[in-house]
A and B are shown apart, each in its own frame.
Chain A
Amino acid sequence: MDEQTFAAAVRQQENTLYRIAFSVLHNDADCADALQDALMRAWRNLDSLKDEQAFRGWMARIVINCSRDILRRRKFRTVELDDTVPAPIVDDQPLAEALASLAEGLRLPITLHYMEGMSVNEVARVMRLPQGTIKNRLFRGRKKLAAFMNEEEFE
């Protein structure tokens, strides 16, 4: 893959990569940093991509790793919370809150499978987990989302 093809593939997947980073970080500034790190890491390790058809999953994996790195760094830095930063605007706020309530290990498979249309097999490869585990997490995540939404509706 040459640099132009790489750039085109990144632009095509830009929204997907942002949503994956957001599902880990919930913060646009950190997502921007994560994508920046991920693109550089991907470009410099492009030789490890054996099959260009697998670019989406390969890139998703790198974005997840970079997002987790930022999350780890965030734990060690002192942050003054800025209450003036508005929450991102979404069309379905209850569902956004329900998703945010999930553990990352449940939210990521839900995001990759239901939001990005990846197969269970593809999600398993991206997350480096057995397919059985991914199916279980999708089941568990769905149940928790439904429970959260119902509670909200009845309150």
Chain B
Amino acid sequence: MIFNTERMRCAYPQTPEIVREHVEQTLADIHREALRQPPRRYARRLSFAVTLLLVALLAAAAIAAGAHFGVFDFMAKMFGTSGVLPGAEELVQQNLGRMELAHTTLNVDEAVYDGGALHVVYSVTQNDADAPLTDQEAEDPQSTFNLAIAADQVHTECDWFYLNGTEYCMTNCSTCDTMIGENDGELLCYLDIQLASADIVPDGDFTVQLPVAGGHGVYQTLDFTVKAAEENQQPVVLYCDNAAVTLKSAFLSPVRTYVTIHLEMNADVTLHEADETFCDWAEAELVDAQGNELAGLTELIPQNLVDGKSVDYSYTFLPVDAEEAYLAPTWINEQGEWAVDMTRAIPLN
């Protein structure tokens, strides 16, 4: 079956006249509203002024508290809210490592390890800068900031690293983001490294080396030590009607909820049946004992698909504060709605 825009559009009707009329009527209403509402501009200016005031107040409060744009701020930037629970701030470690280069200085501003993921914010600061970066300077390859970065061969993203001396590549398991910092010539870089999804569960405190400078096989690493997280769920194997489901890890922290499962289909299951089961688990939800959703999914990483008969799914959900939490697959019922299947649910705590 061929899927392309041209073919797919043949399955839908042309936009009917009734819709065009409604759109034009609504645009005419909006036009009239725009004409008779100069206060809207005032409201915008007012809202802009209020926003400016709020930003100034927040900035002042942040400076007063010695705060810096950190891990939870990056989460909030990506998802609208950090979603973390009380107690999450206890996992924040600050100013863990520093590297001074000829033109730039790198600093590990914050790291958060909660048993599931390692979140790091490191700053790259141009040594002789005398003003905060602008958007234009951050993007312009010829700006003094980017020339300084290029001269020192500094990287503002990173998908491999050393943990306790062992090299790990985290392609597909690492998210990077950047934003301009408040200090002169400062760019903040955020890494969200999904350790549990790659079966990396350090035993005790661990050292991390980020190869964020250099190239062509010669790298300088930004080194720091991270405190261990509390132990969590041990692997549990469950059997469903056509598959063995192994709960490889479950970390319920105040920052996020991480679950990794391994699905192994029975030998006599067809590929079609396997696909259906995989899809049910790819849409799994974090629920309570009654099947009510507890928290939304923020990340899904499928990996290690072998012969269409086995796969690992790593889920990241917003954190939950519940006595009982389950990972339950979903299926599409006769009404075409997604329904949670509690008969296959896995208890997480």
A residues with CB within 8 A of B: 3, 6-7, 10-11, 14-15, 18-19, 22-23, 28-29, 31-33, 35-36, 39-40, 43, 47, 88-92, 95-96, 98-99, 102-106, 110-111, 114-117, 129-133, 136-137, 139-140, 142-143, 145-146, 149
Contact = CB atoms under 8 A, between A and B. Distances in A.
Nearest to A136: B282
Interface of B: 1, 3-5, 7-16, 18-23, 25-27, 29-31, 33-34, 44, 47, 275, 279, 282-283, 297-302, 332, 336-338
Contact of B15 (A18, A91, A92, A117): A18
Contacts of B14: 15
Nearest to B332: A103
B7 A95 contact: yes
Nearest to A102: B336
Given A103-B332, A117-B5, A133-B297, A90 B44 contact: no
B47 to A, nearest CB: 7
Contacts of A137: 283
B336 A104 contact: yes
B340 to A, nearest CB: 14
B337 A103 contact: yes
B279 A140 contact: yes
B8 A115 contact: yes
A40 B283 contact: no
Identify whether the interface residues of A are mostly helix, strand, loop, or mixed.
helix
Given A36-B22, A40-B30, A14 B1 contact: no
A89 B7 contact: no
B43 to A, nearest CB: 9
Given A39-B23, A95-B7, A15 B15 contact: yes
Question: Top 7 A-B pairs ranked by shortest CB distance?
Answer: A132-B300, A88-B13, A92-B10, A91-B10, A32-B22, A95-B11, A136-B282
Nearest to A116: B5
Contacts of B15: 14-15, 18
A7 B27 contact: yes
A96 B302 contact: no
Nearest to B48: A47
B18 A28 contact: yes
A93 B206 CA distance: 60
Contact of A130 (B13, B298, B337): B298
Contacts of A15: 14-15
A103 B25 contact: no
Contacts of A89: 13
A132 B22 contact: no
**Which residue, of B23, B299, B338, has the highest number of chain A Cβ atoms within 10 A?**
B23
A43 B27 CA distance: 9
Contact of B297 (A10, A14, A105, A130): A130
Given A40-B29, A91-B10, A18 B19 contact: yes
A36 B26 contact: yes
